[in-house]
Amino acid sequence: MTTYTVAYGGERLDRIARKTLQTEQQGAVDAILQANPGLAAVAFSGVVDADTVIQIPENFAPAPAETFTLAWE
């Protein structure tokens, strides 16, 4: 696993996911939380304190996008 150290002033979990996993959607934030037990308790209102070291999962694969067919197709 790769590590990421939160910058001065703290950062939101979705922005950390965007920087490290190239997306904040499709389960990226959940993958970071699963790789870091206890991080949710530390990240009040989604902001992680400065100098916190976070494990970034290397085997993250975005959840498949839902497909649907419109009634007229």
Q: Is this prediction's pTM over 0.85?
A: no
- Give Cα 48 distance to the centre of its chain: 12
pLDDT for res 65: 67
> Which residue type occupies 32?
I
pLDDT in tens, the chain (73 residues): 788 889 888 898 889 989 988 888 888 888 998 999 988 888 777 888 888 899 998 887 776 667 777 778 6
pLDDT for res 64: 67
Alpha-helical runs (H) found in the chain: 13-21, 28-35, 39-42
CA dihedral 35, 12, 63, 72 (to 10 degrees): 160
pLDDT for res 72: 80
Which residue is it, tokens 């902001």? 47
